[in-house]
Chains A and B, each alone.
With several copies, the nearest count.
Chain A
Amino acid sequence: MNKIMLFAQLKEDMGKSLMEVEVSGKTVGELRVFLEEETPLGSLDGIMIAVNEEFVKDDWVIGEKDEIALIPPVSGG
């Protein structure tokens, strides 16, 4: 299983700040499509994705038990 941490808008959309899914073997790009299609998160365009405390590109392959964080850049200041 993989843990996914959600922040800000994404936490609101999902109704929780942590979800568990099995996405190992998928690329990060495939994870985006999966989450957009299977969850209430909606478009993840522009959301930064970190795997094991490191931001990675969409071709990165997720491993078993990898911990994922979805970071929406917010604009306030």
Chain B
Amino acid sequence: MDSQLERYSRQMLFKPIGPEGQIEIGKKHALIVGVGALGTHTSELLARAGVRKLTLIDRDYVDRSNLQRQHLFTERDAAEQWPKAEAAKERLKNINSQVEVEAIVAQADAALLEDIIADVDLLVDGTDNFETRFLMNDLSQKYKIPYVFGSCVGSFGMAFTIIPGVTPCLQCLIKRLPLQGQTCDTVGIIAPAVQMVTAHQGAEALKILSGNMEAVRKTYVSFDLWENEYLSLKADALKESNCLSCGETPEYPFLQSGQEMKVAVLCGRDTVQIRPADNQSFPLEKLVDQWRSAGLAVGGNPFLISVTKDGAKAVFFKDGRALIHGTKDLNEARKIYHSLVG
């Protein structure tokens, strides 16, 4: 056996992969967007599995409250506020020095993603918001790259594999976002729910990267580990022939400038304004319930709602527009926004 491959012997003994599948995996480049709970698990899994290259994108740094569920990171990474993508890269190099790891500390916007997509073989979902997911979905469709969606909150999670030209896309499945405010910052998250999602994402990734397309799961998995529920749901009926992302005349709306969430510092103020993308519904009352339930201070008047979290004050208008006070940092403002709204 090739001595470079010998470390993967237990994966090659698995017949559907075998030595041929291992060689295929070793040629592949996976892009993981978001290096939080999901992204640290899937990047560790794919680095150990022996992909050629991993690109990791994350705009955030390691915080102590991440350590409860985000693998790869240590107390020192949190104390030094190391950027997540860079902290992950450092650990992954110690785990498998044969894998090329590229860390990008930035917001995963359309311009960045289109710039690096050229030789990517697989898109892996590690993000915490649907704006970025719809962007990944459009990218997947435009460049014909499989996209392994996953998300979780509390003990609840879901995973689905999108194969362009074969399965429905994320836009077919979820036309309008249910922004009900259940985020890891409002209702929490337990690490086993993360692992359950990444077990599915990882298995799908290995199937795709090793060339076992016939084994790819065709159903949408949804589970609750605390309630002991597991559903495997057929999704074919949701494929839309006129879908703007995967239909007959696609427009890839999230790759068009002007369609994305707009985030800008208000002139001369320590405040960032956020206007969400168009396809989101905005049930402000439900959000308020979630925030109160999470113990956050909520105030307001008939025209707006204010909520205070981690020292920053966010003000929401009924149309979904938000002002994040106390910062001029766009990424910090996005982080607060997504932690409150989803």
Q: Give residues of chain A (52-74) contacting chain B, Cβ–Cβ below 8 Å.
A: 53-57, 60, 69, 71-74
Q: Dominant SS at the B interface?
A: mixed
Chain A: CB-nearest residue to B237 = A56
Q: B235–A9 contact, CB under 8 A?
A: no
B317 at the interface (CB under 8 A from A): no
Contact with A along B166-184 (1 / 0, CB 8 A): 0000000111111111111
Q: B153–A75 contact, CB under 8 A?
A: yes
Q: B234–A54 contact, CB under 8 A?
A: yes
Chain A: CB-nearest residue to B338 = A75
A50 at the interface (CB under 8 A from B): yes
Q: A53–B151 contact, CB under 8 A?
A: no
Chain B: CB-nearest residue to A74 = B153
Chain A: CB-nearest residue to B286 = A42
Chain B interface extent, by class:
35 or more
CA distance A57 to B125 in the complex (A): 25
A8 at the interface (CB under 8 A from B): yes
Q: Give residues of chain A (13-65) contacting chain B, Cβ–Cβ below 8 Å.
A: 17, 42-48, 50, 53-57, 60
Q: A69–B176 contact, CB under 8 A?
A: no
- Chain B nearest CB: distance from A42 CB in Å? 6
B152 at the interface (CB under 8 A from A): yes
What residues of B have a CB within 8 angstroms of the CB of A43 in the complex? 178, 281, 283, 286
What residues of A have a CB within 8 angstroms of the CB of B222 in the complex? 7, 69, 71
Residues of A within 8 A of B (CB): 5, 7-9, 11, 17, 42-48, 50, 53-57, 60, 69, 71-77
- 10 tightest A-B CB contacts, nearest first: A46-B178, A75-B342, A76-B153, A54-B234, A45-B281, A74-B153, A77-B38, A46-B176, A76-B184, A9-B180
Known interface pairs A46-B178, A50-B233; 6 further A-B residue pairs with C-beta atoms within 8 A, sorted by A's residue number: A8-B153, A8-B182, A9-B178, A46-B176, A73-B158, A76-B151
Residues of B within 8 A of A (CB): 34, 36-39, 125-130, 150-154, 156-158, 173-184, 189, 197, 220, 222, 224, 227, 229, 231-235, 237-238, 281, 283, 285-286, 290, 338, 342
